Amino acid sequence: MREWLLLSLQVSLCATLLTLLAGTGAAYLLARRRFPLRSLAEGTVLLPMVMPPTVLGYYLLVAMGADSPVGRLYTWLTGADIVFSFTGIVIAAFVGSMPLYIRQAQVAFAEVDRDMESAARSSGASEWQVFRYITLPLARRGIIAGTVLAFARALGDFGATLMVGGNIPGRTRTLSLAVYDAWQAGDNATASGLALLLVSVALCVAVFASSLTER
Distance CA 27, CA 45 (A): 10
Grouped pLDDT means (10 residues each) for the chain, 215 residues: 82 93 91 82 86 89 88 88 90 92 91 86 86 89 89 88 85 86 84 84 77 63
Question: What domains can be seen in the chain, in order of their start residue?
Answer: 2-214 (1.10.3720.10)
pLDDT at position 215 is 56
The reported pLDDT for the residue numbered 90 is 94
pLDDT given for residue 117 in this prediction: 85
**CA atoms within a 13 Å half-sphere pointing along the CA-CB vector of 92:** 38
Residue type for position 127:
E
Beta-carbon count within 10 A of 24 CB: 20
> How confident is the model at residue 196, as a pLDDT?
87
Round to whole Å and give the CA distance between 32 and 29.
5
Distance CA 193, CA 206 (A): 20
